[in-house]
Amino acid sequence: MIVYAVDTGGEYITVAESQRRHPVGQRSLYVNLTNRCPCACTFCLRPLKHMAEESTLWLKHEPTVEEVKAELTVVPWPLIHEVVFCGFGEPTMRLQDLVALLHWVKEEHPEINTRVNTNGLSDLVYERDTAPDFSGGILDTISISLNASNAERYLALTCSRFGIGSYEAMLTFAQHCKAYVPQVIMTVVDQVEDTEEIAACRAICEARGLTLRVRAYEAS
């Protein structure tokens, strides 16, 4: 699926099925742009999540910007309060297309909140400061996977192809995003980290003026 919704228990469903099950009330809309990711996190759901063929997030091909727009055009927008770019891959692997789609959503539906869920490594992917790409009011929230309180544990968990420097690069990206994105949220997963490690992560965020959210692990 390119565009989808999430139901109770983390079930990925089509927007039509979401509307059938929940004909009233607003929900988040998710956009899946790529399978590619520079990490291979030990807790990643990609190899674990059981999905039916009609509701899989594994893309057979990367959709063009126009293909994504075509799917977004027929969405029941009165039922949507937020558009989230995430999926099974890392959305910033298609940074130019991601930014183009964020612009499109805000131009067509300025009342809708936008969010990007990212590993925060786009500076390393493109070898430049990428936070300014999100300027201009196109992005309301960026959620960045902090994962750990130090570079060694981060690398052990994420297996980032960029090595030990990934952790500091991710934190630097997060701090730079504060100039362009109203809400910069760092996340850790509750079943991956214990109470002590989460407290250490919170201290890291407080020292850098960042907000930490502990998210529930999504079962397969």
CATH code of the domain covering residue 86 = 3.20.20.70
Residue 139 falls inside a structural domain: yes
Residue 23 falls inside a structural domain: yes
pLDDT value for 190: 79
- Mean pLDDT confidence for 92-121: 98
Measured N-to-C along each axis, helices 95-108 and 65-73 cross at an angle, to the nearest 10 degrees, of 30
Residue 132 falls inside a structural domain: yes
Residue 211 falls inside a structural domain: yes
- Mean pLDDT confidence for 205-217: 89
Residue 220 falls inside a structural domain: no
- Mean pLDDT confidence for 2-20: 92
| pLDDT tens digit sequence for 116-175 | 999 999 999 999 999 999 999 999 999 999 999 999 999 999 999 999 999 999 999 999
Max alpha carbon distance in the chain (Å)?
47
Residue 138 falls inside a structural domain: yes
Residue 22 falls inside a structural domain: yes
Range of the domain at 190: 3-215
Q: What is the CA 168 to chain-centroid distance, rounded?
A: 19
Percentage of the chain beyond pLDDT 70 is 92
